[in-house]
């Protein structure tokens, strides 16, 4: 998330000139009444300072310049198409939006039911699904969503994420499935399948990083090491593999993990999430 130099360049029009006595970007805590959050590594890098509600970026660009960014504006949006019942009280398929603010530590979730209208157009909660149309996404648990700036940023992130996710939506709703079933698997079609699979795995792994701690993932990786997953069916029910290891070797003590809590999490995983774990952890 914190690619500070990218943030610096993206907001060039919002930077202001700064007249301070010190030339050292990393020695301005007193002048800015802020704490140094990330020092500049060289003259081309930016230094980042932190106050209670904002980050201050300093860099050399036609003189000393400053960029102030509110912490509530630094958030990530991840969209995923859910095709299995994950116990959220909504029948699949549905679209799930996950928001993480890495500056404030807040997170929130939103879900919208996916359907097709009589003309075969995809809908989310009854509205046309389009990268250009932001649905009525509410995140009441977040403190920073009431600002106009957040809605503008959310619309931009929605556009980017949904554009990448549309093939998954089409597959979940059965679009084009009959036509493709009889088609020859040309190299181009194989590449399309691979790209979709890789994107599904990437997005599910991002979700899994929210569910499991680093210690839990290390334990699961140890449990899956050397296990063969040669058929699609063998990838289902990973918690049984981990449970067997917990009984035989007690790795939970080695990794400092609550075994019962870990198994409860694993039992709640969808098939796609289990695939993502195998792709990321199995050796």
- Give the pairing type, strands 64-70 and 76-82: unpaired
Q: Residue 78 forms beta bridges with which residues?
A: 98
Which pair of tokens denotes residue 244?
Answer: 């067997």
Q: Which 3 state secondary structure label does DSSP give 18?
A: coil
pLDDT given at position 176 = 43
Task: Give the residue-averaged pLDDT of 238-248.
Answer: 89
Helix (H) or strand (E) holding 203: helix 187-211
pLDDT band at 52 (very low <50, low <70, confident <90, very high): confident
CA distance 37 to 50: 6
Q: State the pLDDT at residue 201.
A: 86
- Mean model confidence pLDDT for the chain: 84
Please state, in angstroms and rounded to a whole number, the distance separating the CA atoms of residues 225 and 73. 40
pLDDT on residue 90:
92
| β partners of residue 20 | none
Q: What pLDDT shows up at residue 130?
A: 92
Percent of the chain residues past pLDDT 70, beyond the cut: 93
**Angle at 167 (CA atoms; ends 278, 2), nearest 5 degrees:** 65
Structure tokens at 273: 């999430």
Instruction: State the DSSP string of 78-90.
Output: EEEEE-S--SSSS
Q: Can you tell me the mean pLDDT for 165-185?
A: 62
Provide the 10 A C-beta neighbour count for residue 160: 13
Mean pLDDT of 39-53: 89
Residue 283 has pLDDT above 90, yes or no: no
- Residue, of 270 and 242, whose pLDDT is higher: 242
Instruction: Compute CA distances 260 → 81, 115, 153, 239, whole Å.
Output: 28, 37, 39, 11
């Amino acid at each position: 998330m914190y690619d500070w130099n990218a943030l610096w360049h993206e907001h060039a029009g919002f930077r202001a000139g700064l007249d301070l006595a010190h030339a050292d970007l990393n020695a301005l805590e007193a002048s800015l009444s802020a704490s140094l959050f990330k020092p500049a590594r060289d003259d081309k890098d930016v230094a980042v300072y932190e106050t209670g509600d904002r980050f201050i970026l300093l860099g050399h660009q036609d003189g000393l310049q400053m960029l102030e960014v509110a912490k509530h504006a630094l958030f990530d949006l991840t969209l995923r198409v859910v095709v299995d019942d994950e116990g959220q009280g909504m029948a699949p398929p549905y679209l799930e939006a996950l928001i993480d603010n890495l500056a404030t530590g807040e997170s929130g979730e939103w879900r919208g039911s996916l359907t097709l209208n009589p003309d075969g157009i995809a809908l989310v909660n009854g509205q046309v699904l389009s990268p250009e149309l932001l649905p009525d996404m509410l995140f009441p648990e977040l403190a920073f969503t009431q600002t106009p700036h957040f809605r503008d940023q959310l619309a931009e992130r929605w556009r980017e994420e949904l554009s990448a996710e549309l093939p998954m939506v089409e597959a979940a709703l059965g679009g084009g499935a009959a036509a493709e079933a009889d088609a020859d698997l040309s190299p181009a079609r194989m590449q399309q399948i691979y790209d979709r699979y890789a994107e599904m795995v990437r997005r599910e792994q991002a979700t899994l990083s929210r569910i499991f701690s680093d210690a839990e993932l290390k334990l699961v990786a140890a449990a899956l090491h050397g296990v063969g997953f040669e058929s699609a069916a063998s990838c289902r029910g990973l918690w049984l593999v981990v449970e067997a290891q917990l009984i035989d070797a007690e790795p939970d003590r080695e990794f400092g993990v609550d075994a019962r809590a870990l198994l409860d999490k694993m039992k709640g995983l969808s098939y796609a999430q289990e695939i993502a774990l195998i792709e990321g952890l199995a050796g």
